[in-house]
């Protein structure tokens, strides 16, 4: 009698274990603030089976107890749940996603040239030249006497000054060199926030101090001159080991 009882218990536990491991098709719906979310990829991490939600946010996928389901959307944070027996019994899985915070591109503010509300100096000078020519034309000429003027002459001193000014401006343009790129700005643009927090395991408040630590290394100047993303990541990874030892 005792043997029969133990045999019955053994069969019961085997049946329960087999039942719990049986895959079942469950239905669900993905929402964001009560609105359905379409084109969400639903991934069974254990079986590697995938499906995509329809326009109404609905999906169906085969699961078993203990499977991990991932919900991946371009505009939302990744959601992960572990399937239990209650999830399978209900067969009406409701998933709520959180919208990703908007990431604004870096805004570069360019200083605009100031506008001076004054008379056009070129126009004024042109009028002065015209007046000088007309005045010279009206001045009576005494035959046989050279007063040192040239009829309809031009102001060679002023023209010489203008030419000299052009050369000075050209030299100023040549002297101006392109603005130097700072290492910290280059490092931020080359590697996103996840690289620092997930790969390098840095806390958000440690990142500015870490970049200053890297900037102090003379090798950082080489990276500015010969910019390469892979070399930048390799340099940051090496410096991170040193930074952790501080």
Each residue's pLDDT expressed in tens, for the chain with a length of 246 residues? 555 545 555 555 544 554 446 899 999 999 999 999 999 999 999 999 999 999 999 999 999 999 999 999 989 998 999 999 999 999 999 999 999 886 545 555 555 555 454 555 666 677 667 766 666 666 665 555 555 555 555 555 666 666 666 665 655 555 555 556 688 998 888 888 989 999 899 999 999 989 988 988 888 888 888 877 888 888 999 999 988 887
C-alpha 78/C-alpha 87 separation (Å) is 19
Strands (E), the chain: 24-32, 35-36, 41-44, 50-52, 58-63, 68-73, 76-82, 93-96
pLDDT at 110: 56
The rounded distance, in Å, linking the Cα atoms of 49 and 40 is 14
Helix (H) or strand (E) run with residue 213 in it = helix 207-215
Both structure tokens of 212? 């200053």
| The pLDDT of residue 28 | 96
DSSP state, residue 99: B
3-class DSSP state for residue 28?
strand
* Tokens standing for residue 69: 């389901």
Burial 25-50 (b: 16+ CB within 10 A, else e): ebebbbebeeeebeebebbbeeeeee
Euclidean distance between CA atoms 141 and 139, whole angstroms: 6
Label the pairing between strands 93-96 and 24-32.
parallel
The per-residue pLDDT for 19 is: 46
Please report the pLDDT score of residue 230 as a whole number: 82
Rounded to the nearest 10 degrees, the angle between the axes of helix 207-215 and helix 183-190 is 130
């Amino acid at each position: 009698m005792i043997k029969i009882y133990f045999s019955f218990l053994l069969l019961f536990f085997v049946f329960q274990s087999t039942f719990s491991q049986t895959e079942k098709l469950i239905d669900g719906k993905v929402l964001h603030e009560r609105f359905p979310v379409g084109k969400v990829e639903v991934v069974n991490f254990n079986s590697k089976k995938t499906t995509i939600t329809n326009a109404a946010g609905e999906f169906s996928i085969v699961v078993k107890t203990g499977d991990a389901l991932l919900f991946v959307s371009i505009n939302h944070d990744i959601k992960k749940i572990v399937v239990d027996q209650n999830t399978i019994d209900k067969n009406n899985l409701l998933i709520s996603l959180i919208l990703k915070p908007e990431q604004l591109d870096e805004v570069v503010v360019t200083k605009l040239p100031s506008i001076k509300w004054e008379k056009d100096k070129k126009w004024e000078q042109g009028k002065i030249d015209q007046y000088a020519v007309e005045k010279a034309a009206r001045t009576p000429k005494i035959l046989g006497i050279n007063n040192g003027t040239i009829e309809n002459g031009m102001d060679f001193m002023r023209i010489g000054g203008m030419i000299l000014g052009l050369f000075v401006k050209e030299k100023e343009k040549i002297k101006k060199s392109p603005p130097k790129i700072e290492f910290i700005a280059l490092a931020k643009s080359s590697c996103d926030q996840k690289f620092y927090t997930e790969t390098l395991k840095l806390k958000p408040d440690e990142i500015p101090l870490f970049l200053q630590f890297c900037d102090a290394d003379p090798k950082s100047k080489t990276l500015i001159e010969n910019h390469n993303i892979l070399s930048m990541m390799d340099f940051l990874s090496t410096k991170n080991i040193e930074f952790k030892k501080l």
